[in-house]
Amino acid sequence: MTAASVPPAGGTADRAGGGASPAPGTVRRAICPGSFDPVTNGHLDIIGRAAELYDEVVVAVFVNQVKSSLFSSDERRDMLVESTAQYGNVAIDTFEGLVVDYCRAHGIPVIVKGLRAVSDFDYELQMAQMNRGLAGVDTLFMPTNPEYSFLASSLVKEIAKWGGDVSALVPPNVLKRLTDRSGTPGRA
**Cα(19)–Cα(61) distance, rounded to whole angstroms?**
26
Phi, psi of 34 (to 5 degrees): 170, 180
β-strands 138-143, 56-62: how paired? unpaired
Q: Applying CB under 6 A, does 102 fall inside the site for ligand ADP?
A: no
Question: With contact defined as beta carbons under 8 Å apart, do 84 and 46 qualify?
Answer: no
Among 46, 59, 80, 91, binds ligand ADP (CB under 6 A): 46
In the complex, minimum distance from the CB of residue 123 to ligand ADP, in angstroms, rounded to a whole number: 9
Centre a 10 Å sphere on the Cβ of residue 171 and count the other Cβ atoms it contains. 19
CA atoms within 13 A on the CB side of 129: 5
Q: Applying CB under 6 A, does 113 fall inside the site for ligand ADP?
A: yes
Amino acid symbol at 4: A
The residue among 28 and 116 lying less far from ligand ADP, judged by its C-beta, is 116
In the complex, minimum distance from the CB of residue 40 to ligand ADP, in angstroms, rounded to a whole number: 6
Residues with Cβ within 8 Å of residue 5, at least 6 apart in sequence: 91
Write the burial class of residue 108 (CB in 10 Å: 0-12 exposed, 13-18 middle, 19+ buried): buried
Among 70, 100, 128, 151, binds ligand ADP (CB under 6 A): 151
The residue among 107 and 114 lying less far from ligand ADP, judged by its C-beta, is 114
**Which residues carry out catalysis?**
43, 67, 116, 153
Among 13, 144, 170, 177, binds ligand ADP (CB under 6 A): 144
The residue among 3 and 155 lying less far from ligand ADP, judged by its C-beta, is 155
Q: Applying CB under 6 A, does 76 fall inside the site for ligand ADP?
A: no
Length of the chain in terms of residues written: 188
**Cα(108)–Cα(169) distance, rounded to whole angstroms?**
30
Among 110, 153, 174, 182, binds ligand ADP (CB under 6 A): 153
The residue among 13 and 61 lying less far from ligand ADP, judged by its C-beta, is 61
The residue among 34 and 171 lying less far from ligand ADP, judged by its C-beta, is 34
What are the residues binding ligand ADP (CB under 6 A)?
Answer: 34-36, 40, 42-43, 46, 113-114, 116, 144, 148, 151-154
